[in-house]
Structure formats: structure tokens, C-alpha cells
Amino acid sequence: MGKYTLIASCALAAAATFASADDVKKRTAAMDQIRMGAATLVPVIKGDKEFDAQVADLALRMTYAGALAFEGKFPEGSTSKGANPAIWENKADFDSKVLEFISNAEAAVAMQPNDLLSLQSAYQPLLKNCAACHKAYRIKN
């Protein structure tokens, strides 16, 4: 292997590593955003906190933004703590679950819940999405 080929190969490998690290940071931040939305909404849904339409709307929008930011942040080789290798072994299924979550988050925002019952109805599909994806693709730390 020539000197320039070796240098180019090292540069490409380094770029891929940095891209993977960046994707891991971005998906972690997106998941944190989704988690904050859940931390706000789940106590309301359980009846532990009062329903507030503005708070619910903001939390749903935060969840939707996090879901959008999550998409495409699992390129090949971007493994991380908590991410099951099954993500890359069953990429089409994983990606379809992410797209379903995005679609359900968008629908929840569009529903504009104005009371506890409508919030429960809007958020229930998202909880099911989270459970299904985490069961198949998350490693508990």
C-alpha cells in the first residue's frame, strides 16, 4: 500500500469514527428530549399531576422534535452503550419502528389534546412504540 493510499485510508477511517461519534451524541440528545417529554406527560396520564393543555402541547412537540432528530442516527458501525446490535441486524424493522414513532408523534401533536382523556388517547400509541422498540433494540444498562 502506498504512502498516500495509507494516509487516505486513515483519514477515511477517522472521519467515519467521528461521524459515528457525532451520530451517537445526536441520537442520545434526541432520546433525552423524548425522555423529557415522557417525564412531563406520564405523571399527567397516570393522574399524578394536573392536566395543562399548554404543557401537554409543549411536551408533545418536544417528543415529536426528538423523534425527528432520532431518525437516521444509527448508521452502520455507530454502536454505543445501550444500543443492541440487533438494530443493525434488523435495520429495516428498526427503521420502520422509528418512522411509526415519528408518525404517531406528529399525529399526537395534531390532535391538540385539550383534556386528560384526549391526551391519553394521543399519547398511548407513543408509549406502545417506545415499549416495542426498547424490547427489541435496547440493552438495559
Please state the φ and ψ torsions of residue 70, each to the nearest 5 degrees.
-75, -35
The DSSP-derived string for 30-97 is: HHHHHHHHHHHHHHHHTTSS---HHHHHHHHHHHHHHHHHHTT---TT---TTB-THHHHTHHHHHHH
10 labelled binding-site residue: no
What one-character DSSP code corresponds to residue 138? B
C-alpha cell at 59: 411536551
C-alpha cell at 87: 438494530
Helix axes 53-70, 91-111, angle to 10 degrees: 160
134 labelled binding-site residue: yes
Query: Cβ distance 40 to 79 under 8 Å?
Result: no
Which parts are annotated binding residues for heme c? 130, 133-134
Residues of the binding site: 130, 133-134
